Amino acid sequence: MSALAATERLLIDRIGQRGDGIAETATGQVFVPYTLPGETVIVDADRAERRQLVSVVSPSAERVAPICPHFGDCGGCAMQHWDLPRYREWKRGLVVTALSQAGIEAPVGDTIDAHGNGRRRVVLHARGRDVGFTAARTHRLVTIEQCPVLAPSLAGAITAARAIADILAVTKKPLDIQVTATESGLDIDVRGSGALSSSRSAALVLVAERLRLARLTRHGEMVARRAAPTVMMGRTRLELPAGAFLQPTIAGEETLANLVLQHCDGATMVADLFCGVGPFALRLAERARVLAGDADIPAIAALTEAAKTPGLKPIDAQVRDLFRRPMIPSELKRADAVVFDPPRQGAQAQAQELAGSRVELVVAVSCNAASFARDARILIDGGYRLTSVTPVDQFRYSAHIEIVARFER
Ligand SMILES: C[S@@+](CC[C@H](N)C(=O)[O-])C[C@H]1O[C@@H](n2cnc3c(N)ncnc32)[C@H](O)[C@@H]1O
């Protein structure tokens, strides 16, 4: 077969939910990453639904140069090639589409950009001595030298991950190295190495000292600690548990929290469900009593400790599996407002309990438009009105979008 016969020419119609361009063809939809609406492109002519871009014949006027040399190979970013205003409209459209597929009409605001100065938390992968991110939709490692999406406070993350990978390469195990920027320096949790010999552990301690890491843990167990890895949440300083969930950008956390605070204005008692280490609970407690719940034991322990900060109203933080044991209406009867911020699966069981409650105000925070729309449908069927939806973009260049929504009855 000639080189020409192995390619195909397609016209890209629109961008799909995962950031790929979509072409309508006689045999169905074809997905082509790194393309834009209106572009004529040449792709690999195989039978796959997702094709590889060979070249762009007629580039869109909205096409811009990517900010990273690894873009197109590294799977971390999907959308660096689209100008930001159009990209933000597309992100808003993801929310509008998910709601309309659930039969919901609601006022969806403009996307708020919450990239700020970049990601303060990253998971790097190591295979042997190589460190990087995986390519899109495969486990192939793309070695990276730089990542312009990271905040300056994570500048040492790749160097630190390489130093750790060098020591652990002999284990021949794939590693996930989570690096978080804290006030006192980098906080690193290494996963996947298995048990370590005392000489490897000692070598890791030396790396932690040399690179002045705040803390180094392995599967959450302490390897070295130079300083308490702390972050500010509103006026409160919190010591992070190892490997804890944290909103990926500071601007993202502040934007989500400010929207939550605005919606809960005037409430004197708020339930914060799926609270994590408490970025909403600790800010809410500057003005209201809080009932907080999450399944993560170390996160609740950290929140309980931070809640002792003088000047905060009481926070009753409970370890609770809210999928299996959602808060029931009688437990929420004193709450003026309920905030929930579940993982990607959403909060179906909790939404069902809220639907049968008398809580007047529910603020839903979500990182998944599809599960959000499903939970919104449950609340609306239970008598709530969806009065405001705000898309928040803290995963710039990806297909992820956060949502803050207000439900009233
Ligand atoms: C998207 S995070 C939000 C955390 C927090 N609101 C924040 O902004 O940092 C989702 C949280 O849900 C918690 N979670 C996951 N599954 C859970 C479950 N079955 N029950 C309760 N909490 C759960 C996780 O521990 C995590 O803290």
Cβ–Cβ under 8 Å, residues 43 and 88: no
Q: Are residues 284 and 381 in the same domain?
A: yes
User: What is the structure's pLDDT at 243?
Assistant: 86
Q: Are residues 261 and 212 in the same domain?
A: no
User: What is the structure's pLDDT at 5?
Assistant: 54
Q: Are residues 187 and 149 in the same domain?
A: yes
- Report CA-CA distances (Å) from 293 to 4, 36, 173, 212: 59, 42, 35, 34
Q: Are residues 94 and 130 in the same domain?
A: no
Cβ–Cβ under 8 Å, residues 150 and 157: yes
Q: Which residues pair with 132 in a beta bridge?
A: 125, 143
Return the closest-CA partner of residue 340 out of 269, 255, 281, 268.
281
- Residue 311 CA to residue 240 CA, distance in Å, equals 21
Q: Are residues 185 and 147 in the same domain?
A: yes
- Asked whether 322 lines ligand 1 (CB < 6 A), one says yes
Domain extent for 151:
121-230
- For residue 276, the CA-to-ligand 1 centroid distance in Å is 5
Q: Are residues 308 and 382 in the same domain?
A: yes
- Asked whether 248 lines ligand 1 (CB < 6 A), one says no
Residue 77 known to be catalytic: no
- For residue 298, the CA-to-ligand 1 centroid distance in Å is 12
Q: Are residues 302 and 374 in the same domain?
A: yes
- For residue 279, the CA-to-ligand 1 centroid distance in Å is 12
Q: Are residues 212 and 166 in the same domain?
A: yes
Q: Are residues 150 and 174 in the same domain?
A: yes
Residue type, 7: T
Q: Ligand 1 pocket test: pick from 245, 290, 327 the residue with the most ligand atoms within 8 Å of its Cβ.
A: 245
Residue of the CA atom closest to atom 11 of ligand 1? 274
User: What is the structure's pLDDT at 2?
Assistant: 45
Residue type, 45: A
- For residue 274, the CA-to-ligand 1 centroid distance in Å is 4
User: What is the structure's pLDDT at 194?
Assistant: 84
Cα angle for residues 320, 180, 116 (degrees, 5° grid)? 100
Within-domain flag for 283: yes
CATH of the domain at 162: 2.40.50.1070
Return the closest-CA partner of residue 253 out of 109, 108, 394.
394
Q: Which two tokens stand for residue 143?
A: 């070695």
- Asked whether 341 lines ligand 1 (CB < 6 A), one says yes
Atom of ligand 1 at shortest range from CA of 276: 27
Number of domains in the chain: 3
Task: Please identify every stretch of the chain with a pLDDT value under 70, giving residue numbers as ranges.
Answer: 1-5
Return the closest-CA partner of residue 152 out of 177, 186, 112, 188.
186
Atom of ligand 1 at shortest range from CA of 275: 6
**DSSP per residue, 45-97:** -SS-SB--EEEEEE--TTB---S-TTBTTBTT-S-TTB-HHHHHHHHHHHHHH
Within-domain flag for 79: no
Residues sharing a CB contact under 8 Å with residue 333, sequence separation 6 or more, in sequence order: 357, 358
C-alpha dihedral (10, 14, 17, 22), degrees to nearest 10:
-10
Give 340-373 pLDDT, tens digit per residue: 999 999 999 999 999 999 999 999 999 999 999 9
Count of beta carbons in the 10 Å neighbourhood of residue 209? 12
CATH of the domain at 24: 2.40.50.140
The strands making up 21-25's β-sheet, listed across from edge to edge, are 14-15, 21-25, 28-32
- Taking the model in full, what pTM does it have? 0.95
Q: Ligand 1 pocket test: pick from 274, 284, 327 the residue with the most ligand atoms within 8 Å of its Cβ.
A: 274
Which is catalytic among the residues 74, 77, 147, 367? 367
Q: Ligand 1 pocket test: pick from 294, 297, 318, 320 the residue with the most ligand atoms within 8 Å of its Cβ.
A: 294
Within-domain flag for 267: yes
Within-domain flag for 378: yes
Q: Are residues 296 and 328 in the same domain?
A: yes
